């Protein structure tokens, strides 16, 4: 009898061990369980998709908001580190309002008072940030389920149909986002969009990067380079004033690589208005995908992130409003300045300001035209 019980216990323990091993094998390199990303939102299903390259790098993407959930890239010792903020499950993305890793649309950044003029008609968009329309309004594309088509181990294409009147934006708009993890350890992102009515379109990716591989460590000691000699100042509501001014002799001068936190607390009206860095820089090499627009280096891991883009501007945001109220992956609480966002874009409020100044790029899209936007996040180590 005792022998039978002993054998039964051994069998049960063996089965439990086998189940634990199987569960571990099903996790991604970043520790995500794909089952936790399976849900139905409205009538659409969500999932987690895993991209890999020949170097063992891994990028996880969910079709909820076409979001980057994790990026595992090697540090200076060859150890893989997860370098973006995010959540462990789809329920957290649905129930906790954040832009972590999201594809933003229809219009990334802010539109003054939520008003645009199209075909001579003034259109009132929803206002959700200091009286302005931010990131497409309260129900922007970061909260929509995209259709996903993973075409290879390294590539996924996500598509969305945005109907005429979506958040009051005109036109039936069809967009696609293509993520490709290349063998030189870069995430190559290509956006396309078409419309059947005159409208505005300005898309971006809103990943929160922490190259330290540990969100407990702030990004203030990271070195930042921005290839821009001018920026668009903002007022106390984060709205661009219409001016384009030099960064020279200001805390916004990153033409020479400088620690993010070196001047972030200086007595400066722009830092006060932005609660730190939350500004659009006017890129020196606009429309040139071969030139580095921005570069961040972690002194902890040696990981380097280079941003290349064909867009005219880049919004750099230093996690000023992270305040410890959100708990992310692995139970880590996200405190202030534990991430930096690098959002390639057309300038904030361009739908209005391009009408009065040719220095501001036009975000208007017409039927028969194709919106195209190309950005690359390229990773390496600082040797």
Measure the CA–CA gap between 19 and 1, rounded to whole angstroms.
Answer: 27
- DSSP per-residue string spanning 130-141: TTBEETTSTT-G
Tell me how crowded residue 241 is: count the other CB atoms within 10 A of its CB. 13
Strand pairing partners for 294? 226, 307
206 is an active site residue: yes
Report yes or no: 313 and 346 within 8 Å, Cβ to Cβ: yes
Distance of alpha carbon 89 from alpha carbon 72, whole angstroms: 17
Alpha-carbon span 213 to 204, nearest angstrom: 23
Number of residues in the chain: 383
Catalytic residue selected from 279, 306, 343, 373: 343
Angle at alpha carbon of residue 279, lines to 90 and 246, rounded to 5°: 160
DSSP 8-state code for residue 301? T
Q: What is the DSSP code string of 309-350?
A: ESSSEEEEE--TT--S--B-GGG-B--TTS-EEEEEESPTTH
DSSP states along 5-71: HHHHHHHHHHHHHHHHHHHHHTS-TTS--GGGG-EEETTEEE-EEEEE-TT--EEEEETBTTEEEEE
The yes-or-no answer on residue 374 being catalytic is no
Confirm if 247 and 253 have CB atoms less than 8 A apart.
yes
Catalytic residue selected from 135, 206, 279, 373: 206
CA distance 20 to 11: 14
User: Which residues share a beta bridge with 206?
Assistant: 102
Nearest-5° angle of CA 313, CA 317, CA 321?
A: 150
CB-based contacts of 320: which residues, under 8 Å, 6+ apart?
274, 275, 276, 277, 278, 336, 337
Q: Give the pairing type, strands 223-226 and 258-259.
A: antiparallel
Enzyme catalytic residues:
206, 343
């Amino acid at each position: 009898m005792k022998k039978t019980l002993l054998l039964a216990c051994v069998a049960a323990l063996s089965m439990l061990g086998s189940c634990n091993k199987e569960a571990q094998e099903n996790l991604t390199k970043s520790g995500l369980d794909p089952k936790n990303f399976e849900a139905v939102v409205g009538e659409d299903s969500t999932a987690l998709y895993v991209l890999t390259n020949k170097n063992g790098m891994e990028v996880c993407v969910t079709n909820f908001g076409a979001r980057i959930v994790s990026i595992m890239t090697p540090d200076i010792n060859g150890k893989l580190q997860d370098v973006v903020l995010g959540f462990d499950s789809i329920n957290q993305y649905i129930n906790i309002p954040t832009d972590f890793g999201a594809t933003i649309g229809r219009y990334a950044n802010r539109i003054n008072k939520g008003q645009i003029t199209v075909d001579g008609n003034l259109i009132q968009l929803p206002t959700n940030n200091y009286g302005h329309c931010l990131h497409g309004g309260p129900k922007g594309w970061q909260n929509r389920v995209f259709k996903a088509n993973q075409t290879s181990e390294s590539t996924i294409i996500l598509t969305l149909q945005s109907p005429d009147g979506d958040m009051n934006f005109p036109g039936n708009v069809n967009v696609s986002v293509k993520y490709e993890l290349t063998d030189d350890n870069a995430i190559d992102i290509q956006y396309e969009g078409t419309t059947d009515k005159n409208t505005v379109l300005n898309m971006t990716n809103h990943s929160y990067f922490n190259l330290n591989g540990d969100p407990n460590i702030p990004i203030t000691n990271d070195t930042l380079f921005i290839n821009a000699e001018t920026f668009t100042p903002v007022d106390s509501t984060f709205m661009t004033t219409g001016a384009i001014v030099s960064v020279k002799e200001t805390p916004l001068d990153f033409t020479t690589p400088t620690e993010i936190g070196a001047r972030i607390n200086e007595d400066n009206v722009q830092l006060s208005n932005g609660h730190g860095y939350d500004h659009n820089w006017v890129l020196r090499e606009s429309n040139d995908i071969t030139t580095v627009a921005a570069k961040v280096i972690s002194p902890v891991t040696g990981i380097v992130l280079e941003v290349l883009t064909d867009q005219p501007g880049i919004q750099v945001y230093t996690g000023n409003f992270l305040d410890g109220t959100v708990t992310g992956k692995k139970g880590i609480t996200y405190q202030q300045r534990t991430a930096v966002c690098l959002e390639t874009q057309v300038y904030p409020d361009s739908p209005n300001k391009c009408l009065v100044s040719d220095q501001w790029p036009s975000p208007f899209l017409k039927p028969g035209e194709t919106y195209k936007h190309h950005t690359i996040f390229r990773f390496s180590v600082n040797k």
